[in-house]
């Protein structure tokens, strides 16, 4: 029997966890692994001139949607934080790192999925930096694998001008779970747009088929491997 893994997804905003790796999350949960999700930002408040102007009912609805999506994908536990939406750069990086460290200490993951550092969205970029800092490979670190995912309407919209381009080199087959990814995204109905916008249900399927075709399968999610440590066999028991 394969070793049960503890897997942590660290996302900046509600729905990023679905767009980035919803199909893979569902697949790994079905395979019996423990999946945890941390969403660092509160979401939607940047759509107002002042953060305080947001409708509290809408914030509660968004949090409820995060829980619904997590249950659908088979997530074991969800951690919601309240960093200011699209304003992570107003918070000291150390505070963001400490949020991630706290979640890592609670979940003890050996695999972490998070944003790519080249995304146009500043919150994604800072999340990437915070995850790499919080999971730096100190002696005794449990984290053995870190993967960066893409977020449609952010990763590709930087047009490779922000940092190094997203260059996926690991692909997870999601033929049996892509429907769960699409249903989970439908829960975030306020975030959906109409095709050809990349934040649409049609594009989610098209993109999964695209990445699948790149590696000769039906549907896939693409990731860039940031770091992998292969332990000796006796360390896996």
Q: Distance from first CA to last CA of the chain, Å, rounded? A: 11
Structure tokens at 111: 């695999």
* Spatial contact of 223 and 148, defined as CB atoms under 8 Å apart: yes
Total domains in the chain come to 1
* Side-chain-side CA neighbours of residue 63 (13 Å): 13
User: Can you give the pLDDT at residue 231?
Assistant: 78
210 found inside a domain: yes
Segment 148-202, tens digit of pLDDT = 999 999 999 888 877 789 999 999 999 999 999 999 999 999 989 999 999 999 9
* Spatial contact of 166 and 118, defined as CB atoms under 8 Å apart: yes
11 found inside a domain: yes
User: Can you give the pLDDT at residue 158?
Assistant: 87
Domain holding 120: CATH number?
A: 3.40.50.10320
Segment 193-234, tens digit of pLDDT = 999 999 999 999 999 999 999 999 999 999 999 999 987 766
1 found inside a domain: no
Segment 105-152, tens digit of pLDDT = 999 999 999 999 999 999 999 999 999 999 999 998 999 999 999 999
Q: Which residues on neighbouring strands pair with residue 10, listed in sequence order?
A: 38
179 found inside a domain: yes
154 found inside a domain: yes
Backbone angles phi, psi at 9, to 5 degrees: -105, 120
35 found inside a domain: yes
User: Can you give the pLDDT at residue 1?
Assistant: 40
User: Can you give the pLDDT at residue 63?
Assistant: 94
Domain of 194, in residue numbers: 6-236
* Side-chain-side CA neighbours of residue 145 (13 Å): 15
230 found inside a domain: yes
117 found inside a domain: yes
User: Can you give the pLDDT at residue 234?
Assistant: 61
């Amino acid at each position: 029997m394969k070793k049960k893994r503890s897997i942590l997804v660290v996302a900046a905003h509600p729905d990023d966890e679905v767009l980035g790796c919803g199909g893979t999350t569902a697949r790994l949960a079905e395979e019996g692994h423990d999946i945890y999700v941390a969403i660092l930002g509160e979401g939607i408040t940047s759509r107002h001139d002042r953060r305080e102007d947001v409708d509290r009912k809408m914030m509660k609805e968004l949090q409820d949607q995060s829980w619904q999506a997590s249950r659908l994908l088979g997530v074991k536990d969800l951690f919601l934080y309240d960093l200011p939406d699209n304003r992570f750069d107003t918070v000291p990086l150390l505070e963001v790192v400490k949020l991630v460290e706290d979640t890592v200490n609670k979940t003890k993951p050996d695999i972490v999925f998070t944003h790519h550092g080249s995304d146009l969205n500043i919150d994604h970029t800072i999340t990437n930096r915070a995850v790499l800092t919080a999971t730096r490979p100190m002696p005794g670190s449990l984290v053995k694998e870190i993967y960066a995912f893409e977020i449609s309407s952010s990763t590709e919209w930087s047009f490779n001008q922000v940092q190094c381009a997203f260059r996926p080199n690991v692909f997870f087959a999601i033929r049996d779970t892509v429907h769960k990814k699409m249903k989970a995204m439908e829960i975030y109905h306020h975030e959906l747009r109409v095709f050809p916008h990349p934040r649409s249900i049609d594009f989610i399927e098209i993109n999964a088929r695209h990445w699948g075709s790149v590696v000769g399968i039906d549907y896939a999610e693409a990731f860039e491997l940031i770091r992998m440590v292969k332990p000796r066999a006796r360390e896996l028991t």
